[in-house]
Amino acid sequence: MMPERLHKIIAAHGIASRREAERMIADGRVTVNGAAAVTGQTADTDSDSIAIDGRLIAGKSRPVYIALNKPRGYVTTVKDECGRKTVMDLLTDLQERVYPIGRLDINSEGLLLMTNDGDFANSVAHPSFEVVKTYEVHIRGDAVRAAEALMQPVEIDSRWVQAVSSELINITDGGGVIRISVIEGRNRQIRRMCAACGVEVRTLKRAAIGSVKLGSLKSGEWRYLTEKEHRSLVYTSSYE
Q: Dihedral, CA atoms, 100, 102, 222, 182, nearest 10 degrees?
A: -170
Considering the candidates 44, 80, 105, 142, report the single residue annotated as catalytic: 105
Using the 8-state DSSP alphabet, how is residue 46 labeled? T
Q: Is 93 a catalytic residue?
A: no
C-alpha torsion sign, points 122, 128, 130, 134: positive
**In b/e form, how buried is each residue of 102-130, taking b as 16+ CB within 10 angstroms?**
ebbebebbbbbbbbbbeebbebbbeeebe
Q: Find the Cα–Cα–Cα–Cα dihedral 152, 155, 156, 158, rounded to 10°.
A: 150
CA atoms of 188 and 202, how far apart (whole Å): 14
Residues acting as catalytic residues? 105
